[in-house]
């Protein structure tokens, strides 16, 4: 006697049936997907609108020769990373590239377009017509320094400029010439020790000379051997 077995039916019979997912759980998964799709769509529309609202800025940036090595999101901010000497070298690089393009170049700091100029005539025109400082940088500095004459908005520092102008008259500056002469001689003596030793960072000498000249004391120079 021959018996024939249906293997497929036996296999189905041996399998455990998975419980059906509740309808509420399926609706929850569906709603989650819908919310994520809406969020992605809103982000895409927001990015498109942001790009469109700044189209004139991007058009202007395309017409100005820019720095190389620009990265997404951060732009050229990476060239300012590092020590004070690295920052000075980055500024020198911007100046050299600007000289190569008739005194004008551009670079991006995140979403901020910055323009570097080395043409004296262009700098004079811009400095007389653009009195406001960068609002984002000034807000950061004002949290520390307040509304001082250096970092205050135009409506504050412009009236103060006439008051401070008296302190920078020729008569007062002539009285400071001996101080400048003495501090410059001290700085020259400090730099003489570096002669013949190859390249060296000059930034710490400049900062020490500036602080010593402003304070009119030699305490900074006496402690110069302490790392700055």
- In terms of domains, do 69 and 115 share one? yes
Query: Residue 109 above 80 pLDDT?
Result: yes
30 is in which domain, residue-wise?
A: 26-63
Q: Distance between CA atoms of 165 and 162, rounded to whole angstroms?
A: 5
- In terms of domains, do 39 and 87 share one? no
Q: What is the pLDDT of residue 224?
A: 43
Dihedral (Cα; 122, 127, 129, 130), 10-degree rounding? 120
- In terms of domains, do 173 and 228 share one? yes
Q: For the segment 176-219, what is each residue's pLDDT rounded down to a tens digit?
A: 888 888 888 988 888 888 888 888 888 788 888 887 887 764 44
Is 213 part of any domain?
yes
- What is the number of domains present in the chain? 3
Q: For the segment 148-182, what is each residue's pLDDT rounded down to a tens digit?
A: 666 677 777 777 777 777 777 788 778 888 888 88
Which are the contacts of 95, defined by CB distance < 8 A and separation ≥ 6?
116, 118
Comparison of pLDDT for 48 and 19, the residue scoring more = 48
Domain-terminating residue out of 112, 130, 148: 130
Q: Distance between CA atoms of 172 and 90, rounded to whole angstroms?
A: 35
Is 144 part of any domain?
no
Query: Residue 53 above 90 pLDDT?
Result: yes
* 168 DSSP assignment: G
Contacts 24+ apart (CB under 8 A), 157-163: 158/131
Q: pLDDT band at residue 80, thresholds of 50, 70 and 90?
A: confident
CB 70 within 8 A of CB 105: no
Cite the beta strand spans of 80-226 per DSSP E.
104-109, 112-117
- Residue % of the chain over a pLDDT of 70: 75
Q: Distance between CA atoms of 46 and 175, rounded to whole angstroms?
A: 59
Q: What is the pLDDT of residue 228?
A: 37
Task: List C-alpha distances in Å: 101 to 67, 74, 104, 120, 181.
Answer: 11, 24, 6, 14, 38
Which are the contacts of 65, defined by CB distance < 8 A and separation ≥ 6?
97, 100, 101, 104, 105, 106
Is 136 part of any domain?
no
Average pLDDT over residues 24-52: 88
CB atoms near residue 78 (< 10 Å): 12
Is 193 part of any domain?
yes
Q: Distance between CA atoms of 114 and 94, rounded to whole angstroms?
A: 11
Q: Is the dihedral of CA 97, 100, 102, 103 positive or negative?
A: positive
Query: Residue 222 above 90 pLDDT?
Result: no
Q: Distance between CA atoms of 149 and 127, rounded to whole angstroms?
A: 17
Query: Residue 38 above 90 pLDDT?
Result: yes
- In terms of domains, do 226 and 186 share one? yes
How many residues in the chain?
A: 228
Which are the contacts of 136, defined by CB distance < 8 A and separation ≥ 6?
112
- In terms of domains, do 57 and 88 share one? no
């Amino acid at each position: 006697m021959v018996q024939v077995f249906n293997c497929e039916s036996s296999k189905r019979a041996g399998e455990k049936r998975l419980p059906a997912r509740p309808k509420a759980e399926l609706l929850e998964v569906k709603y989650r997907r819908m919310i994520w799709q809406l969020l992605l769509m809103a982000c895409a529309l927001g990015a498109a609108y942001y790009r469109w609202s700044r189209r004139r800025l991007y058009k202007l940036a395309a017409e100005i020769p820019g720095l190389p090595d620009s990265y997404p999101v951060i732009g050229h901010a990476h060239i300012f990373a590092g020590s004070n000497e690295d920052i000075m070298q980055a500024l020198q690089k911007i100046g050299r590239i600007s000289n190569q393009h008739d005194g004008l170049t551009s670079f991006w700091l995140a979403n901020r377009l910055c323009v570097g100029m080395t043409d004296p005539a262009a700098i004079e025109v811009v400095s007389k017509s653009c009195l406001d400082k960068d609002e984002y940088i000034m807000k950061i500095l004002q949290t520390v320094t307040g509304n001082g004459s250096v970092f205050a908005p135009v409506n504050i520092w412009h009236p103060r400029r006439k008051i401070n102008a008296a302190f920078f008259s020729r008569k007062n500056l002539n009285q400071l010439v001996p101080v400048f002469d003495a501090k410059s001689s001290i700085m020259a003596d400090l730099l003489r020790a570096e002669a013949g030793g190859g390249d060296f960072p000059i930034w710490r000498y400049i900062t020490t000379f500036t602080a010593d000249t402003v304070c009119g004391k030699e305490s900074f120079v006496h402690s110069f051997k302490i790392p700055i």
